[in-house]
Amino acid sequence: MFKYKVLDLFAGGGGFSTGFEMVELDGAGFEILRAVEIDEDACKTLELHLGKEKVIKGDITKTEIKQKIITDCKGKVDVIIGGPPCQTFSLAGPSRSGKAEMREALKNDPRNTLYKHFFELVKAIEPRFVVFENVEGIISKEFDQADELNAKQQVAIEVICDELEGLGYYTYLKDRIVDRYQVLNAADFGVPQQRKRVIIIANKHDRLNSLPQKITEDKPVSIKEVISGLPVVLPQLSTETDLLRFNYIFGEFDKSVGKFIDTINGLKDFYREQNEIQSEEFSALIQYVNEAGKKLKKRKYTKEKALKEFIKGYNEKLKPFVNLYKQDYKTYHTSRVHNFRDVIIFSYMRQGTNSAQFIRKDSPVYDGFLDSLYPYDRTKHLDTYVKHSLEKPSNTILSHMQKDGLKFIHPIQPRTFTPYEAAMIQSFPPGHVFCGERNAQYRQIGNAVPPLLAKSIGEAILSMLVDIDAKIAKKNQGLTTSV
């Protein structure tokens, strides 16, 4: 198979690379010549999948790194792909809602100028195609007058398209000839996730750029289709209790503990055909939870002490159950530790709802008990908890999952998504390995371009490359024949 060569800049955990390597058309495909990344754990992931010789670890703003990329790739690369991190473009997080000093710090974040170095490498290497990916917020972001690329304020996306055209690339789209960029939703390309990204495809052949073909316009892929067969995971519970925040639980002690016990018992029916649910380890856990729950109702000491004893026993019974499958998943399919209050909130929430709904009294899913449990500042944070629905795609998987996963609550199990589930929702192939500890894996997965979205982009480019080269070959053949 003939393979066009690709340079992946800001490669992260390799979502773009993985997608491009899936592409095949008329005996042609793609090969990643080099992948460039600064994060150590992400580099180890890339080395595992691509080979150590193909990974350049370092900061592309450094002259020696930039020169190595140029030396390794100039005259050898057909396509450059990449999404320069631009922190203030994001529609989520502190760039939009944080404290004033945090927003100012983000404004001056050096990562917001990495696109300049992206263009420097494009100029030096001169690939036939360039793919620029970024968050949807880049459409409304304006560059300041002091920016080197322009003398006045302009919308960032237009500046970037102008810059590519200044380097000799054609950015306009086939069937949409007034447009130079696309907003693609990963859910339209077989990814079980609502994730919108801005994509610019540019070429040096003066051709209108093909649009990636949607494959799931009628019914998006649901979470259920990609994670329902995975082993059941239960969270270890923290024994630390904040008395102030736990007062409502202690006030409704039997109700809280009872809901947790019901949730654990419910797994036995919902997942009854799965091996781990039929195991002796799960039976022992269920037996403990039920028997200890009865004793809690007859407690002879304080509620706080009783709860800690219950949690301690639960954690002990949980260990052998977790060990049943833990070794089979190099990308973590284990839960982070949760506190008891959060697990109760997870258990009471309905699928497809969030905390902004259950704390609002005019909402059809308002819940007075959940309202009393909600621990966060309501003037700033309303949708802290989001429980997903099995029958629908996920919300956008974010790298913020490395800090907490409260916006990614599992539809059935009382916990947040594991890294392995997040990777499946991002459309990484089953068994795809991410290196590093759990939080490092969350970061790589959340920052990745979904491979199935990348595959569709790669297919659009490969079809153009194959067509262009076939016409060039035919023309050269005609010239040879005439001579």
Average pLDDT (161-187) is 93
CATH number of the domain at 70, please.
3.40.50.150
Q: Is the pLDDT of residue 110 over 90?
A: no
Contacts of 447 (CB under 8 A, 6+ apart): 12, 13, 399
pLDDT tens digit string along 269-323? 999 999 999 999 999 999 999 999 888 877 766 778 888 889 999 999 999 998 8
- Pair 23, 145 in one domain: yes
Q: Is the pLDDT of residue 360 over 60?
A: yes
- List the one residue out of 18, 11, 20 whose CA is nearest residue 41: 11
Q: What is the pLDDT of residue 243?
A: 55
Residue 445 lies in a domain: no
- State how far the Cα of 269 lies from the Cα of 125, in Å rounded to an integer: 58
Number of domains observed in the structure of the chain: 2
- Pair 50, 191 in one domain: yes
Range of the domain at 387: 232-324+335-417
- State how far the Cα of 221 lies from the Cα of 295, in Å rounded to an integer: 44
Q: What is the pLDDT of residue 249?
A: 77
Least confident of 16-30, 42-56, 89-103, 355-369: 89-103
pTM: 0.90
Residue 186 neighbours by CB distance under 10 Å: 30
- State how far the Cα of 29 lies from the Cα of 23, in Å rounded to an integer: 6
- List the one residue out of 187, 224, 282, 220 whose CA is nearest residue 410: 224
Residue 66 lies in a domain: yes
- State how far the Cα of 43 lies from the Cα of 17, in Å rounded to an integer: 13
Residue 165 lies in a domain: yes
- State how far the Cα of 432 lies from the Cα of 451, in Å rounded to an integer: 11
Annotation marks residue 43 as catalytic: no
Average pLDDT (152-160) is 73
Q: Is the pLDDT of residue 246 over 90?
A: no
pLDDT tens digit string along 334-354? 999 999 999 999 999 999 999
* CA gyration radius, the chain: 26
Q: What percent of the chain has pLDDT over 70?
A: 89
pLDDT grade for 253, boundaries at 50, 70 and 90: confident
Contacts of 18 (CB under 8 A, 6+ apart): 49, 428, 429, 432, 451, 454
pLDDT, averaged across the chain: 88
Residue 425 lies in a domain: no
- Pair 404, 359 in one domain: yes
- Quote helix, strand, coil % in the chain, to nearest 5: 50, 15, 40
> Considering 73, 86, 161, 435, which one is annotated as catalytic?
86
**Hey, what are 318's tokens?**
């949980």
- Pair 91, 178 in one domain: yes
- Pair 108, 149 in one domain: yes
- Pair 42, 113 in one domain: yes
Q: Of 223, 242, 261, which residue is a domain's last?
A: 223
- Pair 150, 212 in one domain: yes
Q: Which residues of 17-53 are buried (b: 16+ CB within 10 A; e: fewer)?
A: bbbbbbbeeeebbbbbbbbbbbbebbbbbbbbbbeee
- Pair 125, 206 in one domain: yes
Average pLDDT (80-92) is 67
* CB-neighbour burial class of residue 291 (10 A; exposed 0-12, middle 13-18, buried 19+): exposed
- State how far the Cα of 452 lies from the Cα of 50, in Å rounded to an integer: 18
